Structure 1
Amino acid sequence: MISFEEAYTMVMTNTFSFKEESVFLTNSLGRVLAEDIYADRDFPPFHRVTKDGIAIHSSALKNGQKTFPIEGIVAAGTEQIALKSAENCLEIMTGAVLPDNADTVIMYEEVSIENGKATLLSEVEKGQNIHKQGSDIEKGHIVIKQNTKITAAEIGVLAAVGKVQVKVKKLPEITLISTGNELVAVHEKPAPHQIRNSNMLSLHALLQKENIQAHHLHLDDEKNEIKNTLQELFTENDVLMLSGGVSKGKYDFIPEAMEELGVEKVFHRVQQRPGKPFWFGIHRATNTYIFSFPGNPVSTFANYHIYFKDWLNKSLQLNYSKGFIVLGEEMSNTTPLTLFLKVKVNEENEIRKAFLIKENGSGDLTSLVHTDGFIQLAPKKSGYQKGDVVPFVSTR
């Protein structure tokens, strides 16, 4: 059995190399860019007016001029026109191109318009209320770097530079495998000795948040069936994620089947709670990564967030750094294990603090509904005090 730190390091040093594919812009949300995105024009592409009002040339202000005859009106979306006289003005709308021979815009609230003339009501600063061409970014410069996860903000920028097709990293093909004769489908009514297969649905939902549509498979506790099925799955999947079958029970055949199939065991069993029986390995011939989590719901849920999510983000070259949080109460860990404890996060005086959730062991599925994340407590004889800062893994 290895330490949590060793297990985490081993997982993170065995990451996956993603290929690329092109998708339509409208299907790129949540994906990771596989290319730099360049500005195809200046942003903004012209001197853009930012307020409804009048456009003037500031030279008239030097002569003490306060009233300007109005030459016309300029709407957004019209081609650039010129201010004919520096002693006149043009009414202009937000988003319009600044007229040639104009360099300053005064909003309507600061002028009085009467009899075709606009009179200034306040002091004016040359160049005000103008978004200068190229002031955001110039043509040819990078607007979004590769390895960026595409959010609604990136969608807007991609659309602005005309990226109809976007090159993104392919997502891994993943099959979720549950084992155990005690499991029945969600729609079935379980017998007194059975339970519904909830772990697969939790993992499926977690992967959906990463835009991964996983396949499902259930295997009974029969060694040959497990072995034969796994052999077929290696050729079709980048990742196999199992729940159950990795403890030391008489019917926990996964580790033995993996060994017989030539899978390289990176480790099995970690000094942590929950999730101690965690098994991690790689089938080098097909480059398939195997995350075999314990069958207890909380163990599976915790290990997904602690290990797999960081592994996925690092493989995608995204940020995967752990967060930290302040303890809202005294806690302890007198065991030799690294503990991951379910907590609720509350804000006190603008400081986020963690408070323990009452639970009934790693099989207590219902407690996850109230969980905001897991705090990580290393063994410590002296205990943890209120106000201490500890690592925190968010599950929200």
Structure 2
Amino acid sequence: MIELKKAQNLLLKNLRRMEKEILRLPEAIGRVSFEDIRSNEDLPSFNRSLMDGYAVRDEDVKTTPCVLKVRGIIPAGKIFKGRIKKGECVKIMTGAVVPSWAERVIKKEDVEVIDKESVKILRIGWDRNISYKGEILRKNEIILRKGEVVNEFKAALLALFGVKKVKVYKKPKVCLITTGDEIVFWERKVETGKVRDVVSLLIPELFNKIELPCKHLGRVKDRKNEIFRIFKKTNPFDIILFSGGVSMGDYDLIPEFLKEIGAEIVFHKVKTKPGKPLLFAKFKNKFIFGLPGNIVSSIVSFYNFLRPAVLYMMGLEDVFVKFYEGFIEEDIYIKSDRLYFVPSIAKFKNGKFYLKELKFMSSQDVYSVSRANSFIVFDDGIYKVKEGSKVRFFLL
């Protein structure tokens, strides 16, 4: 049995990044950049007026109030090519190109219009009201780094520089196979001894939360020939998930099956409760996970291993769940020989998290998890956690 942290390190060590694909900018939102992207020009690319007002030279407004003649108007998107004489100015709109001779823009609120050809400058402020060429970004600066997510704000920045297409990491293709003689389709009426296949609904929905499809290939009995048959359908996929068949029973055939096809089992059994039977293997260019058949075990395994695996393959670095600290609302008695994950309700009050344990009967107790928004993590051992104690947890 392997410690969680060691298993997670082995996971990342053995995974590979996905190849690149090129997407149009709108389709690349939410994906991870495959390369650094640099600015192809200064930002702004010209001296830009920040106000509606009047472009002037400093020498003409040394003393205010003063009267200046208006030589013309500069709308946004147009360029004023003329020159002005002493005592003259040009009306200018927000966003317009500031002429090279202009040293400041007097905002219209500080100007009194005398007639169509002359204005009185009442005052000048401390701000020149000009955004200078390159003051935000210089040409060839990195605007999106390799491994960064192209979110809506990054996409807006890229669009500002005219970037049409982005190289991103491909998404891995994931499939799920559920195993077990006792498993039946979740919509069916069950006989005594049978169990509805909830995992085939749950796991794909958990992947949907990170916008990654997970195709359920079907259910098979605990028979090697059936496992071989359905495994032939996994060729298009990068990650193959087996639900069930990884514990120590006579009908838990997945480890034996993997050895027979020549897969390398990287680790099997993790020191967590629930989630102990988890298996991770490599086969050719594919990665195989054997998930415990119990529902809560599958959830814990998803957050500890499956989610980090696909995020890493998609180009991200910080892939494991983020732990927070909070305070327990009532005494809890711990008795576990493994790292213990307990479903809980986390509430944020007065700048702090407070957590309430949701007692669950077994790793099949999906009722408790259905009310949870978090998992508290306790070290192994036999001990009491007193009310008000600080605990670690992650949010679902």
TM-score (norm 2): 0.88
- Structure 1 residue aligned with 2:300: 302
- Structure 1 residue aligned with 2:352: 351
Deviation at 1:145, TM superposition (A): 0.9
Q: Aligned pair in 2 of structure 1 residues 114, 238: CA closer, same or farther (>3 Å)?
A: same
2:260 aligned with 1:257, yes or no? no
2:310 aligned with 1:312, yes or no? yes
Q: Deviations over 1:57-97 (max 9, x none)?
A: 22323244444443333222223445624533333322222
- Structure 1 residue aligned with 2:190: 191
Amino acid at match of 2:213: Q
Amino acid at match of 2:259: E
Amino acid at match of 2:40: D
Most deviating of 108-117 and 69-78 = 108-117
Q: Aligned pair in 2 of structure 1 residues 375, 92: CA closer, same or farther (>3 Å)?
A: farther
Amino acid at match of 2:248: K
Deviation at 1:42, TM superposition (A): 0.9
Contact 1:42 1:138 in 2 (8 A): yes
Q: Give matches, 1:94-109, under 5 Å.
A: 94-109=94-109
SS at match of 2:301: helix
Deviation at 1:258, TM superposition (A): 1.5
Most deviating of 231-240 and 304-313 = 231-240
Q: Deviations over 1:210-234 (max 9, x none)?
A: 3432322123223223441365256
Amino acid at match of 2:210: E
Q: Give matches, 1:1-396, under 5 Å.
A: 1-82=1-82, 84-85=84-85, 87-116=87-116, 117-125=118-126, 127=128, 129-186=129-186, 188-193=187-192, 194-229=194-229, 231-233=231-233, 235-283=235-283, 286-315=284-313, 316-320=315-319, 322-329=322-329, 330-379=331-380, 381=382, 383-385=384-386, 388-395=389-396
* Cα distance in 2 between the residues matched to 1:389 and 1:210: 30
Deviation at 1:353, TM superposition (A): 3.6
Deviation at 1:256, TM superposition (A): 2.0
Deviation at 1:106, TM superposition (A): 3.3
* Cα distance in 1 between the residues matched to 2:380 and 2:82: 75
* Cα distance in 1 between the residues matched to 2:354 and 2:90: 57
Number of residue-to-residue matches in the alignment: 391
Deviation at 1:248, TM superposition (A): 2.8
The percentage of aligned residue pairs carrying the same residue is 28
RMSD over aligned Cα atoms: 2.7
SS at match of 1:277: coil
* Cα distance in 2 between the residues matched to 1:277 and 1:345: 28
SS at match of 2:73: strand
Q: Aligned pair in 2 of structure 1 residues 58, 226: CA closer, same or farther (>3 Å)?
A: farther
Can you give the 5+ residue segments of structure 1 that lack an aligned partner in the other structure? none
* Cα distance in 2 between the residues matched to 1:100 and 1:337: 71
Contact 2:175 2:237 in 1 (8 A): yes
SS at match of 1:150: coil
Amino acid at match of 1:371: A
Contact 1:48 1:132 in 2 (8 A): yes
Q: Deviations over 1:259-301 (max 9, x none)?
A: 2222222222222112121112212xx1221111112222212
Can you give the 5+ residue segments of structure 2 that lack an aligned partner in the other structure? none
Q: Deviations over 1:180-234 (max 9, x none)?
A: 3444445x33224445433223322332343432322123223223441365256
Deviation at 1:380, TM superposition (A): 5.2
Deviation at 1:19, TM superposition (A): 1.4
Contact 1:48 1:95 in 2 (8 A): yes
Contact 1:346 1:354 in 2 (8 A): yes
* Cα distance in 2 between the residues matched to 1:131 and 1:292: 58
* Cα distance in 2 between the residues matched to 1:325 and 1:307: 21
